[in-house]
Each structure stands twice: as structure tokens, then as C-alpha cells.
Structure 1
Amino acid sequence: MSADFQEKLDFEAVKDAAEEGTALILDIDGFEGPLHLLLELARMQKVDLTRISILELADQYVTFIKTARDLRIELAADYLVMASWLAYLKSRLILPREEAQEQLPEAEEMAAHLAFRLQRLEAMRLAADGLFKLKQVGQNVFVRGMPEGLRSRTSPLYQA
């Protein structure tokens, strides 16, 4: 994976959760720590992904989600993205490359596309938050009501 891709996928909510103590802590085949650390180590190729069990990763993720009902949904989604990227990276290592796969988009192209979609999602979240913070028409505003139409009467001053 490229360094540019690593900069684009920056999960601040996950890192904040790790500091708060509500992060997903994994214990898989010799690795014990938060999921975002495992993903960063896998990106830098400091961890042998062939030794990590994806089944254990999925089981621990599902258990974490079941026990953390009050967890913020965006944090759970970030964890899901990270777990799926680990599964994808491991599958690329295990499966043999075929020449027919040249027609498929490269991993870095897919990563760039995913990063773009995540940036769009974050922009939508920020826009929605900004809209909800604005004053809303009709909320705490009491108008007089519909104005009545003016009726004009004309009466002649002189009659013949």
C-alpha cells in the first residue's frame, strides 16, 4: 500500500476511543493490542499477516460489537473497515496471483477509491453536523401569523 493511502485512512475516532479505553483490543496469535495498531503494523509490513487468524479477528469483532451496545455507530463502522482491510490484505498474501487478474483494479486503486469514499462520507457527516447546529426556521420563532389581505373601499364623495 502506498504512503499516500496510509495518510488518507486516518481514524481519529478510533484513536480517541483507544485513549478512552473503549477500543477493540485484539488477542490473536501473538498479537495483543488495539485493532488500529495491528492495521498500521500490517501496512508497514511489521506483522506477518499469514499468521493472523481472520476467523479469530471476526469473532472478537462480533463479540465486541455485541457487548458495546452504547458504542457510537461511526466507531463501529471504522472498526469494520479496518477489519475488512486486514482480511483483504491477508487474502492478497495467501491467494496466488493469476495473469487474468490484471483486468481487475489494483489494490492501490481500490484503496484510493475507498479512501475517496471515506472522505466523501466524512464531508457529509461534517455538513450534516453543521446543518443541525444552524438555527432552524420555525424552532423558537413565533410569528404573528398570516397577514390579512387589505380591503379597500371606495365610496364616491359626490353623487349626482
Structure 2
Amino acid sequence: MQRPDNFESLLEAYPIKVANFEGPLDLLLFLIRKHEIDIQDIPIALITEQYLEYLELMQDLDLDVVGEFLLMAATLIYIKSRALLPRPVSSEEGSEEDPREALMLRLIEHRKFKAAAELLHERETVRSAQWGRPDDRISEIAGEEYEPELEVDLFSLLTAFQAVVERAKQRPSMALPIEQISIETRIEQLVARLSETEACGFEELFADASSRADLIATFLALLEMIRLKLVRVFQDGSFGPIRIYKRARPVDAPTPIGDPLA
């Protein structure tokens, strides 16, 4: 993905931290689930290639890719190169730790904690619906079969955004220069749109984007709205359509990054 002109000015003083959403183990689990791979039989070459593609996309978006993501990338590359090279015969071979097996054990352990956290979240959602009913408007829009446990993670959003960018490449480019929109302005526009419709499809957010810079600003605005708890994002099944729902901002919501009082 090529950066638009003056891309740095678009994100000046407006960093989005990947750590606010997911970690490197979550990305690996996402790729494993996406390809329906047995966690104990990971095709390291395929996973490494796709992990690096997602890492490159996050860096192209100027997401603050923390050291853990880069360390995992180095680990995957090491495991991949190790698998391609013949192993020397050594009497101490049995005592050497297999990095692939160590990674597999970390993933299994992380998946257990992630499943437990999702179960607790699901129970909390059910309890809230029974007593507080904070999401009545969402239920009315989505219908009785609405499943709140299918909340979208960062990497599903990145996958959907990749598809939007690829489709945008097929459109004829504008000959005239277009004024670059700020992320803060884009947030205001999206909030106004959701105030009218309450919910919209992921691709609808980008319908009026006339440049690559607009696409990026819209996506980063959505990430910031998620962080600020202005919206909730759900997916129909593991890889189905994504929809964005407006929510009343809770009192414990984070402060906007651009807020001078932060």
C-alpha cells in the first residue's frame, strides 16, 4: 500500500496504538482460525507470510506497532528459517528447546485465557440485557437473532479494510487534487451519520471516500471511535458482513487523543 502525499500530516498528533485492541498472539490465532488450521500443526511459512502482510498494513496505516508485534515477527522468521535449514547432528540436540513447539504452547495457553475472557464478556452482556438493557436500540435494529458475542476484533477490521482498498483501486482516479480530511473531522461526520441511521455497514462508511487518504482517515476514525466507546462493531459469523452500531458513550470512556485536556 502506497502512502498518499502528505500522509504524515494526516496523522500528526493523532497516534492509534495497536495495543488498545489486540496483541501478536491474537493475530496468530486470527490467521489460524481464518485458514481452519490445527493449532498443533501450524504451516509456519504461510502464517509467517500473512503475519508480515498484516504487520506491513498496520505500519502503512501508521498504527503504533509495539515491540511485541515486531518480536513475534522476528520469532516467526527465525522458526521459518530454522525449518528450512538442515539441523546438525548433536549430542545435545534433545536438550535444545524447539521454538515452534514453544510458540504452539503459548498459543494454546493464550487461547484458553481468551476463551475464558469471551465467556465472561458474554455472561456480562446477557446479564446487562436482562437487567439494565443498555442495548435495546441495537436489538430493535438487528432483530431478535442478534448475537452480541460476535464482536469484531482488529484483524477482522483490517481484513475488511484491505478489501475496501482493493475495490477502490478499480475506481477511476480523480484528476483534481482533493482537500485532505482530518481524522477528527471524519469522526464528527461518522457520528452525525450514525445519529441519523443508528447503524450502517462497514463498506458504507467509505462510500463517499474520494481518495486513498480519505479511506485511511475513515478507517483510523473508526478505530478511535471504538476506543472512545462511541460505537460497537459486530460481524455476522466469523467472516460475514460487518456492521457498526452507535452506542451511548459510557462515563468511563477514554478521553479523545486530540483533547487538549487529556
After TM superposition, is the score higher than 0.5?
no
Q: Which has the larger radius of gyration?
A: 1
Normalising by structure 1, we get a TM-score of 0.41
| Structure with greater contact order relative to length (CA < 8 Å, sep ≥ 6) | 1
Answer 1 or 2: which has greater helix percent: 1
